[in-house]
A and B are shown apart, each in its own frame.
Chain A
Amino acid sequence: QSVLTQPPSASGSPGQRVTISCSGSSSNIESNYVYWYQQLPGTAPKLLIHRNNQRPSGVPDRFAGSKSGTSASLAISGLRSEDEADYYCASWDHTLSGQDWVFGGGTKLTVL
């Protein structure tokens, strides 16, 4: 069971807008940055969004991150077939056990 909760799947048709949610708590999302990674089949994760809503150079502005309280979301607009991938949210977590990085369980995006 992942510390951050994501829907296991999402889907949309080309050109549509899709949103993926990520739910956490006060010890992780609410008090730390949220990152989003895209993992194409058989490849390593690629950084998509950092510091809640910042895109690294080369990431299209079709991808947008946001955060509010203990939740975050990734919006993908103008959906394209090459967006079909697994998407993971991640954040630092501060607990009594110490500092930890935590990930969501991943959302498999299907482009219909």
Chain B
Amino acid sequence: QLQLQESGPGLVKPSETLSLTCTVSGGSISSSSYYWSWIRQPPGKGLEWIGTIYYSGSTYYKPALKSRVSISLDTSKNQFSLNLSPVTATDTAVYYCARGIAVPGALPDYWGQGTLVTVSS
């Protein structure tokens, strides 16, 4: 059974870098059948897509975040990662990693449980 688990610091200072890792078990991130994404949810608010990476390494980012975001794969560890920099208080959110089927128009079918990241000095 596929499982995704987010990990990383729960507290990040303003102007610094938010770094999170998603560990995938029960499936391979090297599969051409799927893509891997990050989505966030500020406290009490709705969902916002951050970006997506395919097995080939191709990446796609939300236009409004593109200048601050980087997503990468580590196939040796079956993990993918998110870097967001520099951060401000508005980046405080629960961050989810997710998987989707790599066909046109598809959105995620499996999500991790999420991890809260607070941006504060």
Contacts and interface: CB of A to CB of B under 8 A. Distances in A.
Interface of A: 2, 32-33, 35, 37, 43-47, 50-51, 56, 88, 90-92, 95, 97-106
B63 A98 contact: yes
B113 A103 contact: no
B54 interface: no
A44 B96 contact: yes
B47 A50 contact: no
Give the size category of B's interface with A.
Answer: 20 to 34
9 contacts: A33-B106, A37-B47, A43-B113, A45-B111, A50-B109, A90-B47, A101-B62, A103-B48, A106-B47
Label chain B's interface by main secondary structure. Answer: loop
A100 B63 contact: yes
A32 B105 CA distance: 6
B113 A90 contact: no
B55 interface: no
B14 interface: no
B47 A88 contact: yes
Contacts of B43: none
